[in-house]
Chain A
Amino acid sequence: MKRLATALGIALASATAQAFCGFYVGKADANLFNEASQVIVVRDGDKTVVSMLNDFKGDLKEFAVVVPVPTVLQKGQVHVGEKKLFDRLDAYSAPRLAEYYDPNPCDRRLYERMRKDMAMAAAPASAAAPAPAKALGVTVEASFSVGEYDIVILSATQSDGLETWLTQSGYRIPKNAAKALAPYIRQNMKFFVAKVNLAEQAKTGFQMLRPLQFAYESEKFMLPIRLGMANASGPQDLIAYMLTRNGRVETTNYRTVKLPANMDLPVFLKQGDEFRNFYKAMFGEQAKKEGYRVAFTEYFWDMSWCDPCAADPLSPEELRQAGVFWMVPPNPGSAAPAPSILPRGPIPGGGAQPVMLTRMHIRYTPETFPEDLMFQETKDRQNFQTRYVLRHPAKVAPEACPEAKAYLEGVARRQEQEAQQLASLTGGDIDAIRRKLDLPPAPTQRPWWEGLWK
């Protein structure tokens, strides 16, 4: 029996940032969120390319996926991509840490400059079985193999028939799936059903399943998350990378919120897994605070540059593999220049067609997301990234110069603020953070009446 993995039934299913001169030191990537589904959606007009990452862990014999798609897909419209694409997009758009070093306060000129820098930093940052089939109302519209997958495209007239067909054909359907399938049938959607051809899979030499990609045209800009909720309980994570031509993508039937970012945090986040743990806790806290009712924007940037770069931007070849159909393939004659961080310019060797990346992270529950996700591409082009800043204090003795004492007092105040910021973002224990920072514990509050009559 094939276990039906409907984790995500897919839809086919200038303001400039402040100049940055710190170093990129860490990132919190999608691997943090174990059960996160990942999907890449490329869209311009009605043309859409969706890539789904199958993080199926289990016997491949048991794997099968059912995805509602708007049209019957032909073989040429389905492709097996590389997981590396997801890793590249993830690395490029992951939340990041940046660090700065305070200059020595005893150098007066530097001190003046630092004060200016701090004033600037204080300014707000500018701020994804043929025979019985007919009797059951199920039609096999197309049947083909791509890579390690055997694929059938079905149309159905009734959900019970589809359920029976799938069961008879050896797929194990989760309970309640038929009910969840019904609205898609009534919307005239087709069903893309893929299972793994084990012989072909062995030939690929990959241990894991490669992502499935579909190209189609549809006026619907949506992701059918509801199908995967048939038996779900508790929150699920979805990370969607939206690649568009003109601007930021947001959900139209749920709130889209930017994660808190661009604040100063304690420098110990640089050590070990501290930043990853911080980001995980922070995301959990923010999602909870919003009642699991919002889509978070984690990143929005023109793909041709980044500042700071968590990883190099994707090359035109990589973008085309991801499905960016308007990206002109680079001239084969000219050697592609090594990927580099450009201050703002065309993609190396690319056709200079803009590609915007919106990374959305949604933690949803069946109760708080009653509808499938609907999206729109806005004309917003203001960059945004979840970036957090570490400021290392200068090492200076209080008596080294007259400025030093005031500077060190300022550093102490700043560290306390950073600790409070961290605690409020993650819902963490402020005293534990103070201990990590070697900050003096907060003075114990004396009752207001103590000493009143003394």
Chain B
Amino acid sequence: MSLRKIKVKSFYGLPRPWGRGLKPDPRLFQIAFQATLLTVGALLRDFSLLPAQMALGIAAATATQAFWIRILNLRGVGYLSPIITGLGLSLLLRADSLWLHPLIACLAISGKFLLRVRGKHVFNPANFGVGIALLFLPGTWVSPGQWGNDLGLGVLLVALGATVASRSRRDDAAWLFLGTFLGISALRLLLLGYSLQRGWEILCHQALNGALLLFAFFMISDPMTLPDHPMARRLHVVLVAMGASAWQFLLFRPSGPLWALLVLAPLVPLWDFLWPYKKYQWDSNTPLQGT
């Protein structure tokens, strides 16, 4: 979420989706799709998520956003971003009590306003919130297997995710991440001596993991926390994919992508410093060249 004044004023800071020949804000799609996935997950995949946890999470994220807007006296900062963070936390994080989702949402949004380098927040808020929760808070966990490995759900995730990521012109990051991560996985299977058929079965099983697809299309492709320069962005995405592979295949720990993105996020300001580029803006629909 950019802190600068947006050009198109509208109710509650929402960019006017259909005015002046502008395309709708990609975040509107993101909100709609995340809500769809949450519904699918809750109905078909019996997520252990209470509706109250989700409602409290989104409410706390929005309230925290309002608080910081007031304290920092910001103008033109809207409320799409906290809704996305609230939905993202609901999709990812599981907790055994009601107070954890709102607390983490509050920390995630505050992190966005406080941990900034050169006007850009360092961590993806949902990623930051999940990291804090897993490291420091009792009764929280993520279930990397919660989506299962169904072809149907995989196709839905890719279709919705690619739509959002391409609207924010960051689908290259999603595909590059998936390509690198699965490429490393395929290489590993080959080196381990699996037959082609068995290796292919395992690779498909890994590629259809819903949590991996969700991460690729809804988290790493967040334009605000990726380097702005296309080359730097690609370098960073490849590093995250390599970190995630090392975490899962060398250290044998779960949720590699989430940890790799969190740990490597502080490198983004360095990339932005080394390769300066026009900063991404949600509301500006002028095409960014070279992306």
Query: Which A residues are closer than 8 A to B by beta carbons?
Result: 14-15, 127, 159, 179, 182-183, 185-187, 219-222, 247, 250-258, 293-294, 370-371, 374, 376, 378-382
Residues of A within 8 A of B254 (CB): 252, 374, 376
Is there an interface contact between B202 and A250, defined as CB atoms closer than 8 Å?
A: no
Is there an interface contact between B148 and A255, defined as CB atoms closer than 8 Å?
A: yes
CB distance from B199 to the nearest CB of A (A): 9
Tell me which of B143, B192, B205 contacts A183 (CB under 8 A): B192
Tell me, in angstroms, the Cα distance from A258 to B94 when the chains sit together: 15
Is there an interface contact between A254 and B149, defined as CB atoms closer than 8 Å?
A: yes
Is there an interface contact between B194 and A220, defined as CB atoms closer than 8 Å?
A: no
Residues of A within 8 A of B141 (CB): 247, 376, 378-380
Tell me which of B138, B145, B191, B198 contacts A253 (CB under 8 A): B145
Tell me which of B94, B205, B209, B255 contacts A380 (CB under 8 A): B94
Residues of A within 8 A of B253 (CB): 219
Tell me, in angstroms, the Cα distance from A370 to B48 when the chains sit together: 26
Residues of A within 8 A of B96 (CB): 14-15, 379-382
* Known A186-B191, A219-B251: A370·B139 in contact at CB below 8 Å: no
Is there an interface contact between B145 and A255, defined as CB atoms closer than 8 Å?
A: yes
Is there an interface contact between A252 and B145, defined as CB atoms closer than 8 Å?
A: yes
Is there an interface contact between A15 and B97, defined as CB atoms closer than 8 Å?
A: yes
Residues of A within 8 A of B191 (CB): 186
Return 6 A-B CB contacts under 8 Å, by A number. Answer: A127-B48, A185-B193, A253-B206, A255-B145, A370-B205, A371-B205
Number of residues from B at the complex interface, CB < 8 A: 35
Tell me which of B138, B149, B206, B251 contacts A379 (CB under 8 A): B138
Residues of B within 8 A of A258 (CB): 46, 48
Is there an interface contact between A379 and B193, defined as CB atoms closer than 8 Å?
A: no
Known: A370-B198, A379-B139, A381-B96. 6 other contacts (CB 8 A): A179-B195, A179-B198, A254-B149, A255-B146, A293-B148, A381-B139
A interface, over-half SS: loop
CB distance from A241 to the nearest CB of B (A): 20
Is there an interface contact between A14 and B145, defined as CB atoms closer than 8 Å?
A: no
CB distance from B92 to the nearest CB of A (A): 13
Tell me, in angstroms, the Cα distance from A43 to B112 when the chains sit together: 37
Tell me which of A127, A159, A179, A252 contacts B144 (CB under 8 A): A252
Is B252 part of the contact surface with A, judged by Cβ < 8 Å?
yes
Tell me, in angstroms, the Cα distance from A258 to B140 when the chains sit together: 18
Residues of A within 8 A of B139 (CB): 14, 379-381
Residues of B within 8 A of A381 (CB): 96, 139
Tell me, in angstroms, the Cα distance from A164 to B192 when the chains sit together: 20
Is there an interface contact between A257 and B46, defined as CB atoms closer than 8 Å?
A: yes
Per-position binary interface string of chain B over residues 94-119, scored 1 when its CB falls under 8 Å from any chain A CB and 0 otherwise: 10110000000000000000000000
Q: Which residues from 114 to 159 on chain B have a C-beta closer than 8 Å to any C-beta of chain A?
A: 138-141, 143-150
Residues of B within 8 A of A255 (CB): 45, 145-148
CB distance from A60 to the nearest CB of B (A): 33
Per-position binary interface string of chain B over residues 45-77, scored 1 when its CB falls under 8 Å from any chain A CB and 0 otherwise: 110100000000000000000000000000000
Tell me, in angstroms, the Cα distance from A256 to B141 when the chains sit together: 13
Is there an interface contact between A253 and B209, defined as CB atoms closer than 8 Å?
A: yes
* Known A14-B139, A256-B143, A374-B254: A182·B192 in contact at CB below 8 Å: yes
Is there an interface contact between A186 and B46, defined as CB atoms closer than 8 Å?
A: no
